[in-house]
Chain A
Amino acid sequence: MRAADQRELVVVGASLAGLRAAQALRERGFTGALTLVGDEPHPPYDRPPLSKRVLTTPGRPDRTELPVPNGLRARWRLGRAAVRLDLAARAVTLADGTRLPYDGLVVATGSTARGWPAGKPPAPAGVVTLRGWDDALALRAALTAGGPLVVVGAGFLGGEIAAAARERGLDVTLVEAVSQPLEGSLGPVAGAYVAALHREAGIVLRTGTTVEGFVTGPDGRLAGVHLGDGTTVPAGTAVLAWGGVPSTGWLAGSGLALDGGVHCDPLLRVLRTDGSAVPDVVAAGDVARVPQPLAGGERLALGHWTNAVEQGTAAAATLLAGQSPDGTPAPFAAVPSFWSDLHGARIRSVGLPGVADETRVVEHDLTGRRLEIAYHRAGRLVGALTIGRTGRLASYRRALEEHLASGPAPDEPGPA
């Protein structure tokens, strides 16, 4: 290990994926210099609570810091975004001009909330997004000031924000472009179930429409939201929760393939635009577009907590593989999973329901808050979702692991 210990490893992104990558590097015996770069000034924190208890807990919001192990021995470069990657020189440049040479690099810059389109008249004060800790504190303050609240986008984030605001007694309108919440990721049955949960909680759900523009009050602040169906909804605050954009701006011009996230091979090594893998540069978390065996090898960027954990750990293994007696790491094939808590219903899922072409409803009980759906693609199980039946997920997950272990489905085309 002596030669390896001279290496300098840099992790760009100081959130869950970056932190877990750094942790895994140390756990696997890396003793050289380790630097973590983060664009936010805060030490690593957990994001799922930002749309849940941080918005609802009275008094001072809970801190949500992630535990940093004592043995990490990292140099922290927080509050300074990476602005450039030079693959030939093997160096990252930060916003303050600092140049960080590396022998190995982890790209874990996550994603940013999609804002109001630049081509339209600008949004007034009161139109916000939620991604980071500071966003959550601002939204929390806005909810405390009162409503009404309009949430644009009824995905997991938008649904949770709407539920949190409703729990605090605000008038909430939830706007969704397609015909049901979460239809694209969970299908129409689960979507209709979630729609019923929202309506039961007193949220006004407006589907099949989206925001066209804003009404500005005499104070210059937001007063209402114009929808595509010609109606206007009064609003003190509007949250745009209509998806994220992988944070790849700093990689522009590096020669990497970046559309929809940093393209990776199955070992999480990043790919150039010509499809060749870059040695000693890996990616993990929301920013990484990784071949998904359950999707027939299509590259997907998954913004899930567990994905950040699993990929951060796997990316570290790839980075150390050349120096390790353990030999070659296995292709990344963790079973994805995600969750959401809405109005007391615990939505839990494994696999990739979003790539299914068939849903099989095993149990559907709205009053008992129970739901179980199996998702198939070309006849093979690709995912499952439960509400109030988390115990049922373990067997689905085992089946998905066996599916992955049995190799790619023969009927699937290559990566997109």
Chain B
Amino acid sequence: MQITVDMNLCESHGQCVFAAPEIFSFDDDDRLVHEASPPDALLDKAEKAAAVCPARAVTVSPASPPAAP
């Protein structure tokens, strides 16, 4: 999967770090850093991180397109 964070929207709330510390963290200047291509096993956590971001700055793109409904 691919993770993108819109740093123009990010307000360093930290909710994504709480939800998925394997993917998101802060540097010493309180700026968010993240893994761009974490393993797919972390998809649920990544989606939770996107859902709890108050700034809606986190986008998760699964590696392969989801199956048709």
Q: Which A residues form the contact surface with B (CB < 8 A)?
A: 46, 48, 67, 305-306, 309, 335, 337, 339, 341, 346, 348, 350, 388-391, 393-394, 397
Q: Which residues of chain B from 25 to 39 have any CB-CB distance to chain A below 8 Å in the complex? A: 25-28, 30
Cα separation A53 to B30 with both chains bound (whole Å): 21
Contact partners of B27 in chain A: CB under 8 A: 391
For B32-69 the 0/1 string (1 means CB < 8 A from A) is: 00000000000000000001101010000000000000
- Contact assessment for A348 and B54 in the assembled complex, using a CB-CB cutoff below 8 Å: no
Q: How far is the CB of A114 from chain B (nearest CB, A)?
A: 24
A388-B11 contact in complex given A48-B54, A67-B56, A306-B52, C-beta closer than 8 Å: no
Cα separation A383 to B27 with both chains bound (whole Å): 22
- Contact assessment for A306 and B14 in the assembled complex, using a CB-CB cutoff below 8 Å: no
- Contact assessment for A348 and B14 in the assembled complex, using a CB-CB cutoff below 8 Å: yes
Contact partners of A67 in chain B: CB under 8 A: 56
- Contact assessment for A394 and B54 in the assembled complex, using a CB-CB cutoff below 8 Å: no
Subset of 17 A-B contacts with CB under 8 Å: A48-B54, A306-B54, A309-B52, A335-B18, A337-B14, A337-B18, A339-B13, A341-B11, A346-B11, A348-B14, A389-B30, A390-B13, A390-B26, A391-B17, A391-B27, A394-B18, A394-B26
Cα separation A391 to B54 with both chains bound (whole Å): 17
- Contact assessment for A394 and B14 in the assembled complex, using a CB-CB cutoff below 8 Å: yes
Q: Which residue of B lies closest to A341 (CB)?
A: B11
- Contact assessment for B51 and A346 in the assembled complex, using a CB-CB cutoff below 8 Å: no
- Contact assessment for B21 and A394 in the assembled complex, using a CB-CB cutoff below 8 Å: yes
B2 contacts A by Cβ under 8 Å: no
Partner of A390, one of B12, B21, B51, B52: B12
Contact partners of B11 in chain A: CB under 8 A: 339, 341, 346
Cα separation A394 to B27 with both chains bound (whole Å): 12
5 more contacts with CB within 8 A, not counting A48-B54, A390-B26, are A306-B15, A309-B51, A346-B30, A348-B13, A394-B14
Contact partners of A335 in chain B: CB under 8 A: 18
* Cβ-closest 3 pairs across A and B: A391-B26, A390-B14, A390-B12
- Contact assessment for A388 and B51 in the assembled complex, using a CB-CB cutoff below 8 Å: no
Cα separation A391 to B27 with both chains bound (whole Å): 7
Cα separation A67 to B26 with both chains bound (whole Å): 27
Q: How far is the CB of B48 from chain A (nearest CB, A)?
A: 10
Q: Which residue of A lies closest to B15 (CB)?
A: A306
